[in-house]
Copies of this chain bind each other. A is one copy, B any other.
C-alpha cells in the first residue's frame, strides 16, 4: 500500500497514520524523496484502503501488491521524466542518445569524443573511470582523476556525463562531476550501493543483472526510490543464456514489459546486449521501436585499439549513420497506431 502524504504534513498526523496501520498489522516504511513523502504499508491482511485514505494528511492511497511498489505503474500511471537541466530530458516522450567509449583512456580521447558528440548533437557522454573487470590484472580505469578531466571537457561544452559507480565510498568524490550515476550489471543487487544512491538527488541508471529477472530489476529500483531518490532509469543490457553466438542475449521482450510495469524510463544498451559491432545498430533500432526511451552506446574513434570492449564499439564514422537511423526511428514510431 502506497500512501502519498500531503505537503507540509506534521509529525502528529504521520504518527496517527502509522498507528492506524499498526492496528491492522501493517508495517510502516516512511519514504521521503526529493519530490514527496510517502508511507509504504506492508502487510497481509485484507483491508479496505478507504479507511486509511480518509485520514487527515493523506493525499492519495493505492493498493500495490507486488514487492516493487513505488516504481510500479499501477500506482503512478504517468511516465517519469528525468530532467538533467539545459532541456536534456529522458522519458515521457523525451528521447536521448548517450554515447562514448567503454573506458576513459586519455585527455585526448575525451576531447575527440566530445567533438564527435557536438558534431552529432549528442547531449550525454558515457565513459567508465571505474571499470569492473573479471581479472584483477586488467585495466581498471583512470579513477577520480580521470573523471575530473572528463568533467572539465564536457562541462565546457555543455555535455552531460553518465559513468559507473562501483562502491559507496566513491559516491562523494564523484558527485560534483557527473550527471547520472550508472549502476553496472554486477552491482544490480548490491543493496548497500542502492541504498546510498537512494539518498542522493542525482539520477541513477540501473542496469539489469547478468541474469537478473524483471522483478529483481524493479525490486532493485525500489531500493533506490524507497531511500529517497525518484530519478531512476532502468537499463536492458542483455541477459546470459546458453547461446554462445553473442556476448549476451538482448531481451527485447523486456522493453514493452518494463514500460508497462513501471513508470520509469527504459534505456537500451545494445552494445552489451549483443556484443558484436555490426549488430549493435539493428538491435538498438529494435529496442527503440519496441518503446525504449534512450540508447546508451559504445563509440570510439578507433575501436580496434580501445582499452576495452572494442569488438562491440562503433567507430565515429559508423556512429554518425547510427545516430541518424536512431533518430529517424524515434520519429517514425510516433506515427504508429496503438491498440
Contact = CB atoms under 8 A, between A and B. Distances in A.
Given A167-B168, A190-B186, A211 B213 contact: no
A213 B245 contact: yes
A175 to B, nearest CB: 17
B283 A256 contact: yes
A282 interface: yes
A246 to B, nearest CB: 5
Interface stretch (A13-21, A51-59, A129-137): A129-137
A79 interface: no
A58 B236 CA distance: 49
Nearest to A275: B253
A190 B242 CA distance: 21
A323 to B, nearest CB: 11
B279 A286 contact: no
Contacts of A252: 250, 252, 283, 286
Given A132-B189, A137-B226, A289-B329, A282 B255 contact: yes
A136 B194 CA distance: 10
Contact of A278 (B250, B256, B287): B256
Contact of A134 (B167, B219, B253): B219
A321 interface: yes
A186 to B, nearest CB: 4
A337 B321 CA distance: 7
A239 B250 contact: no
B67 A242 contact: no
Interface in A25-60: 27, 29, 40, 42
Contacts of A336: 285, 325, 328-329
A260 B282 CA distance: 12
Contact of A133 (B27, B134, B191, B210): B191
Residue picked from A40, A167, A339, most chain B C-beta under 10 Å: A339
Interface in A273-331: 273-274, 276, 278-279, 281-283, 285-287, 289-291, 317-318, 321-322, 324-325, 328-329
Contacts of A286: 252, 255, 286-287, 289-290
A95 interface: no
Given A253-B250, A328-B336, A336-B328, A213 B190 contact: no
A219 B134 CA distance: 6
Interface in A238-274: 239-246, 249-257, 260, 273-274
Given A168-B167, A192-B166, A321-B339, A289 B282 contact: yes
B325 A211 contact: no
Interface of A: 27, 29, 40, 42, 67-68, 132-137, 166-169, 186-187, 189-193, 195, 209-211, 213-216, 219-220, 222-223, 226-227, 239-246, 249-257, 260, 273-274, 276, 278-279, 281-283, 285-287, 289-291, 317-318, 321-322, 324-325, 328-329, 332, 335-339
Given A213-B244, A286-B287, A317-B339, 12 more contacts: A136-B195, A166-B191, A168-B169, A169-B169, A209-B210, A213-B245, A214-B243, A245-B253, A245-B257, A252-B286, A328-B335, A329-B336
15 contacts: A29-B136, A67-B135, A132-B191, A134-B216, A167-B190, A169-B169, A210-B210, A211-B242, A213-B245, A239-B242, A243-B251, A317-B339, A328-B336, A329-B332, A332-B332
